[in-house]
Amino acid sequence: MCQSKDDVLLWLKQFHEASASLNAEYFIKKFFDDDAILQFANNSIIKGHENLIKNFQKQFDLLDMMHHEIGHFDILPDRIYQYAKI
């Protein structure tokens, strides 16, 4: 990974802006590989674009808007951890 904090911050902002669009297809296709596997919170594992889009769109449809405020983040060799208020 070895990216600068500025690069990671830019990526995180773009990631959150895409999710804030509340358009699951746009968000998923822009930031997730076709064969992505995601487990969010204590929910079941979700595999692949189609299932990710369905899952996120159900959640997005409940919202009028969404905004993320990044508090801080840590860059590890194989992942990024972040604290954000939604």
pLDDT in the model for residue 40: 81
pLDDT in the model for residue 46: 97
The DSSP code sequence of 42-53 is TSPPEEHHHHHH
Domains plus CATH for the chain? Answer: 5-85 (3.10.450.50)
pLDDT in the model for residue 5: 93
Q: What is the mean pLDDT of each run of 10 residues along the chain (86 residues)?
A: 85 96 98 94 93 96 96 92 93
* CB-based contacts of 1, cutoff 8 Å, min separation 6: 75, 76, 77, 78, 79, 80
Give dist(CA 79, CA 8) in Å, integer.
11
